[in-house]
Chain A
Amino acid sequence: GAVVSQHPSRVICKSGTSVKIECRSLDFQATTMFWYRQFPKQSLMLMATSNEGSKATYEQGVEKDKFLINHASLTLSTLTVTSAHPEDSSFYICSAPDFSSSTDTQYFGPGTRLTVL
């Protein structure tokens, strides 16, 4: 089946630094990818839709200048958390739909756990 990878799986950084998270579709092309954030014991909240070759679409309440998204190729989207603060500590998950499948299902990456000290 389709596979989506994320890197890194865990990252610990100091407050004020920027962190880049990569999301790759390994065996299919993804013109669209989604980024989610999940706080402990909570649901996944959609942050933004990453579109290959164009600007990302952000959900209401998500700061586009703080969470920079770049979808430079059909297999790679990156999320950069700029000037990270402790409240940005969370589990970040990306997903990519495989529109070639009959079910338009989403394939989820393994997630990146960000801890900001």
Chain B
Amino acid sequence: ELKVEQNPLFLSMQEGKNYTIYCNYSTTSDRLYWYRQDPGKSLESLFVLLSNGAVKQEGRLMASLDTKARLSTLHITAAVHDLSATYFCAVVPLTGNQFYFGTGTSLTVIP
């Protein structure tokens, strides 16, 4: 059974602080995606990581991928309240096109 686990599930952090969300997966893959979801809304694409060692940055968020360790990270720098949302990683196995989502990390940034 394919598993995609995120850690932590819940994160409460103060504005200005840094933190990292981890995404571990159990299948062989070279495609990993990060999404943001606001309450009651669909998914917003954040990052697409397509190779081992890939690193992407956008604003206060930076994502990386280590395919050998089957691990991706989403690093938050100097958090602001607007980043409060639920973040999902999603993995696409080498043998298919289906997206399998992680457990999600609910982030609350406290002013």
State the A residues within 8 Å of B (CB): 32, 34, 36, 41-46, 49, 93, 95, 97, 103-106, 108-111, 113
Extra A-B contacts (6), CB below 8 Å, given A46-B100, A93-B42, A104-B97: A34-B99, A43-B88, A43-B101, A43-B104, A105-B48, A108-B35
A94 to chain B, nearest CB (A): 9
Q: Are the CB atoms of A44 and B97 closer together than 8 Å?
A: no
Q: Is B103 an interface residue (CB 8 A)?
A: yes
Smallest Cβ-Cβ distance to A60: which chain B residue: B1
Q: Which of A43, A97, A105, A109 makes the CB contact (< 8 A) with B42?
A: A109
State the B residues within 8 Å of A (CB): 31, 33, 35, 40-43, 45, 48, 50, 88, 90, 92, 97-104, 106
Q: Are the CB atoms of B88 and A44 closer together than 8 Å?
A: yes
Q: Which of B41, B88, B90 makes the CB contact (< 8 A) with A110?
A: B41
Main secondary structure of the interface of A (DSSP, over half): strand
How many interface contacts (CB-CB < 8 Å) are there between A and B?
47
Taking CB atoms, residues of chain B closer than 8 Å to A93 are: 42-43
A25 to chain B, nearest CB (A): 14
Given A43-B88, A43-B104, do A106 and B99 touch, yes or no (CB 8 Å)? yes
Q: With the chains together, A111 CA to B44 CA distance in Å? A: 12
Q: Are the CB atoms of B42 and A42 closer together than 8 Å?
A: no
Q: Which of B42, B99, B100 has the most CB of A within 10 A?
A: B42
Q: List 19 A-B contacts (CB under 8 A).
A: A34-B98, A34-B99, A43-B103, A44-B101, A46-B100, A49-B97, A93-B42, A97-B97, A104-B31, A105-B33, A105-B45, A106-B45, A106-B99, A108-B35, A109-B42, A110-B41, A110-B42, A111-B41, A111-B42
Q: Are the CB atoms of A103 and B50 closer together than 8 Å?
A: yes
Q: With the chains together, A27 CA to B102 CA distance in Å? A: 29
Q: Are the CB atoms of A32 and B104 closer together than 8 Å?
A: no
Smallest Cβ-Cβ distance to A94: which chain B residue: B42
A103 to chain B, nearest CB (A): 4
